Structure 1
Amino acid sequence: MTSPNPHLVIRSITPQISTLSVPFLRFNRIKFGGRATLLQLSSGSLAVFSPIPLTADVRAHINSLGGRVGYIIAPDMEHHMQLGAYKSAFPSALVIGPHGLREKRARQGDQDVPIDFEYARGNKELKLPEELAREVDVEYWDGHASKEIVLLHKPSRTLVQADLFFNLPAREQYSRSGEDASKGWPTRIAQHFMNTTPGHKGQQRFIWYALAKDKASFAASARKVAAWDFDRIIP
């Protein structure tokens, strides 16, 4: 655990959901921003989706919610860098992630973190612990390049996702940094393909032609999630 992050933005979305947002550069050039989503289950257990660095203020926020982290979710092949720190801090927590992530971490020399619930192409309907399963639905997008795990928090009708799609510029993540979230030519190019402006087709085309590696499977996942009952999306 490190010192507090002066750029951290904590936001309460619902009584059960909070987000923790920080600056983050993709490829050390593109202002993507980083965000963890915390779900507090009715049992009191916490699920940490896409963990950000476990700084002192992040730990304090977790403690303010009871401190009982039951689940650490690496939602794809990219959002896993903090798994080791969280598993060390909360050793009884169960880890959820996509097939191939543990092997990728081994190749990179990262701390070995066993994945208790591993989503795979032939194993998309995992039986999760009841306290989690009764409050979330899960779809594993094995057709996505990053192997996305997407959650529906049913009590609040909230869709929680990581890299399924983006909403740049990352204004909230950079709001306390003193930096313009839109500045820099790599960021401006990324924004063309990663924004949710109505009528703008850049992201739609980028997802379909660049990220949808198995289009039939991707489309099946899209149909399933489109049928879910949600009115809020946390990227």
Structure 2
Amino acid sequence: MSSKLIPSNPSDVMVIRNVTPNVATFSVPFARFGRIKVGGRGTLVKLTSGALAVFSPVALTDTAKAKVTEMGGDVRYIVALDFEHHIFVSEWAKAYPAAKIIGPQGLPEKRAKQQDDPKIGNEEFAVVFTKEKKSEIHISDEFDADFEYEYVDAHANLELVFFYKPERVLIEADLMFNLPATEQYSKVPKAEQPADGFLGKLFAGLQDSQGDARWIKRFNWFSIKDRASFDDSVRRIDQWDFATIIPCHGDVLEGNAKDTFRKVFEWHLKGSKN
């Protein structure tokens, strides 16, 4: 059940802040397998049209609703960034029923099999990205005016990556982690956090983009199922002029995000490992 994967007191531990004037984040604690502190994050963007889009939504707490209202209240797009980041789609869809739901192939079918989970409803997806037609898919004129997007179908979790052009912000889920999840655990008392055991330290080391990032490079390189397709996606994303990366797991990268992206995906950008 999804209830085992989310904090029992999201309003107490959620960190809400504006990364840019029109982009706000909702950062929460999340421990994979109950031990590995990776954190979770939803992102709310105000389009030039005034409409709002939420990516990888987290719990819709009263304070989260207040932030939505502060930014105009008109939620028109709810985006599940990959095959895993969808638990709160129904919660947001119920609150904002006019919103289009967007996600990768296979996710609607996955959710249909989880109807015994009270968090997951049977909402219809307005846009579903597929490998075969990903270059033909468009979300809407108002959305496309502000965003570039890439479906990284070669990633194990079927990643959707979005670039908010007006403020040069890249929004992604599991394409790139940036551990440790400092902000996401900043409101959790130390005594209540999972201990940094062997698995936690190992995974944090594998997903740390600092320094030469050699381990995150290796993790990415050996976890891709279709390297040629993945390389093509990474090269397309690299063409976008972003300065900030908002990942779902770990801290936001601000200022030099493009340099970090190129360091982490260096082998994919070159097309071969040195």
Measured against the shorter chain, the TM-score band is: over 0.9
| CA shift digits 1:158-211 (9 cap, x unpaired) | 11111001011100000011136883332211101111012131111111211x
Q: Is the 8 A contact 2:31 2:194 kept in 1?
A: no
**Other structure's SS at 1:134 match:** helix
Counterparts of residues 58-97 of structure 1 (less than 5 Å): 58-97=64-103
Q: Which residue of 2 aligns with 1:214?
A: 226
Sequence identity, in percent? 42
Q: Is the contact made by 1:170 and 1:181 (CA closer than 8 Å) also made in structure 2?
A: no
Decide whether the 8 Å contact of 1:174 with 1:181 is kept in 2: no
Query: Given the alignment, which residue of 119, 122, 140 partners 2:132?
Result: 122
Give the whole-Å Cα distance in 1 for the aligned partners of 2:203 and 2:151. 25
Correspondence 1:33-44 to 2 at 5 A? 33-44=39-50
Query: Is residue 102–residue 125 contact of structure 2 (8 Å, CA) maintained in 1?
Result: yes
Structure 1 residue 105 displacement after superposition: 1.1
CA distance in 1, matches of 2:158, 2:141: 24
Matches of 1:150 and 1:4, distance apart in 2? 25
**What is residue 16 of structure 1 aligned with on the other side?**
22
Letter matched to residue 63 of structure 1: T
Q: Encode CA deviations 1:10-49: one digit per residue, 9 max, x unaligned.
A: 1111111111101111122211111011110111111000
Aligned to 1:157: 168
Structure 2 CA distance for aligned equivalents of residues 225 and 181 of structure 1: 34
CA 1:82–1:34: 2 relative to 1, 3 Å: same
CA distance in 2, matches of 1:185, 1:52: 28
1:196 to 209, 213, 220: 209
Counterpart secondary structure, 1:143: coil
Contact 2:16 2:25 in 1 (8 A): yes
Q: Please say if residues 71 and 96 of structure 1, whose CA atoms lie closer than 8 Å, have aligned partners that are also in contact.
A: yes
Alignment partner of 1:224 is 2:230: no
Q: Is the 8 A contact 2:29 2:37 kept in 1?
A: yes
Letter in 2 for 1:83: V
> Is the contact between residue 169 and residue 182 of structure 1 (CA under 8 Å) also seen in structure 2?
no
Which residue does 1:140 correspond to in 2?
Answer: 151
Shift of the 87–217 alpha-carbon distance from structure 1 to 2, 3 Å rule, reads same
Cα distance in 2 between the residues matched to 1:122 and 1:182: 43
Q: Does 1:178 align with 2:184?
A: no
Point out where structure 2 has 5 or more consecutive residues left out of the alignment: 1-7, 248-274
1:61/1:181 CA distance change after superposition, 3 Å: farther
Q: Which has the higher helix share?
A: 2
**In the aligned structure 2, how far is the partner of 1:101 from the partner of 1:150?**
16
Alpha-carbon shift at residue 3 of structure 1 (Å): 7.5
Equivalent position to 2:106, from 100, 104, 119: 100
Q: Which runs of 5+ in 1 are unaligned?
A: none
